[in-house]
Amino acid sequence: MEEQTDLFREEAAHLFHAGEQKPDFAKPPVNEPRESEQFLMQAPPGNPLLLPHTLQELLSKDSVQVELIPEKKGLFLKHVEYEVSSKRFKCSVYRRYNDFVVFHEMLLQKFPYRMVPALPPKRMLGADREFIESRRRALKRFINLVARHPPFSEDVLLKLFLSFSGSDVQNKLRELVQGVGDEFLTCRLATQAKDFLPADIQAQFAASRELIRNIYNSFYKLRDRAERIASRAIDNASDLLIFGKELSALGSDTTPLPSWAALNNSTWGTLKQALKGLSVEFALLADKAVQQGKQEENDVVEKLNLFLDLLQSYKDLCERHEKGVLHKHQRALHKYSMMKKQMMSATVQNKEPESVEQLESRIVEQENAILTMELRNYFSLYCLHQETQLIHIYLPLTSHILGAFVNSQIQGHKEMSKVWNELKPKLSCLFVGSSNMPTPPLSPPDGNFFSN
């Protein structure tokens, strides 16, 4: 046993000084406390590293609606409640923002090696309704990503959050996690993760991280442009409405014509009558533009934001992997190296046997700690491999987003073109020349107010 321990120390010290991220130790039983058998997650059939899901399967896991239920005290908004409705669990519950915060914390505590989407920020001083609506949308994206994530979707945390109607949901969530341990302690495959990983997992991890970073940057720019397009459609609606109102005001003007303009009195009266009724058509055009802007916000911008939230959670996971388990692993190796030097010094100086035994005991404890971190490191890479697959399962969402954008443009232009064409005959009296012969009307701008 003493000889094996010496070999272990030499190998760990060699790898530490060589700058390796992790030693390739054998995998003895982990000395962290394990839960009883009923708490252990069952191993999936087949190759456990592969996710057998399609995008449609993920999207069909659940559809969760999050609606605002503001409660007012006097003239001021005291707090906001959300009605959270799950199609899967066929129920609605009321949640506050802090309930989402605790749920998020418990997910991170139980699944530190998975993509846990970030929550929107807390209410800032003087937050307006636009901020509250933006946060509602972000909470909806968060809970839908969680509800469709394979491990999360089967966990009791999610079921309780979406179905528990009691008033102490935060305490119930904490009780579910307390004493159970994280996924590393509850997954049967945790100590075997290395066996399922490809030999070049580190290179694959680096390449995947770079790819996801590039995809995120591109989708961030797409989202920015989509927001601008949707915003311009809504702004265009406002301009069209004001344009129609001004034409109507012009037609409704009752100021009498001066005597020197009497010759054109009948012409102006006819023109005014035509202008007076145009506000109806322009109001309809404005309504169509608003509908298109809102549709692009819901079907294009929100889908882009959903995908960006997912990509950001992957980036956050990569940082947790490097700054968490890898950093702790290297610190443990460094501590082990220092303890080994102390042991060598104590041996040379012929210190008391009791102090040497204490140091040996501490070294054994540190060896076990390093072995546990080694297993956690491989399990973290195992989870990262699966989360990378999940990102690629979601990538076809690009076609859904592009299809929604194209359909919105086609439908919007089609509906506005119909209104413009119906408006055109009503302007015939505006294009009559001095010979009372109609002149060609000006070409309408192809209903293209909002796409440039």
Model confidence pLDDT, tens digit, residues 206-252: 999 999 999 999 999 999 999 999 999 999 999 999 999 998 888 88
- By C-alpha distance, which of 211, 212, 217, 206 is closest to 322? 206
Closest CA to 105 of 166, 154, 162, 178: 178
Q: What is each CA distance from 265 to 257, 259, 276, in whole angstroms?
A: 7, 9, 16
Residues forming beta bridges with residue 80, ordered by sequence position: 70
Give the tens place of pLDDT for each residue, 127-158: 678 888 999 999 999 999 999 999 999 999 99
pLDDT higher than 70, residue 382: yes
Spatial separation of the C-alpha atoms in residues 418 and 249, rounded to whole Å? 25
Q: What is the pTM of this model?
A: 0.76
Two tokens, residue 107: 């997910």
Angstrom distance (rounded) from CA 149 to CA 278: 52
Tokens coding 366: 């540190």
- pLDDT(366) > 70: no
Strand order in the sheet with 91-96: 64-73, 76-86, 91-96
Cα–Cα–Cα angle for 109, 41, 163, rounded to 5 degrees: 65
Coil, strand, or helix at residue 268? helix
Asked if residue 44 has pLDDT above 50, the reply is: no
Cα–Cα distance, 365 to 150 (Å, whole number)? 36
Q: Nearest Cα to 40, choosing from 180, 141, 215, 217?
A: 180
Tell the burial category of 59 from Cβ atoms under 10 Å away from its Cβ (0-12, 13-18, 19+): middle
Residue 71 structure tokens: 């409660």
State both tokens at 386.
């699966």
- Can you give the pLDDT at residue 408? 92
pLDDT per residue over 192-202, tens digit each?
A: 998 999 899 88
Show Cβ contacts of residue 5 under 8 Å, excluding neighbours closer than 6 positions.
Answer: 363, 364, 367
Mean residue pLDDT of the chain comes to: 80
Does position 6 have pLDDT exceeding 80, yes or no? no
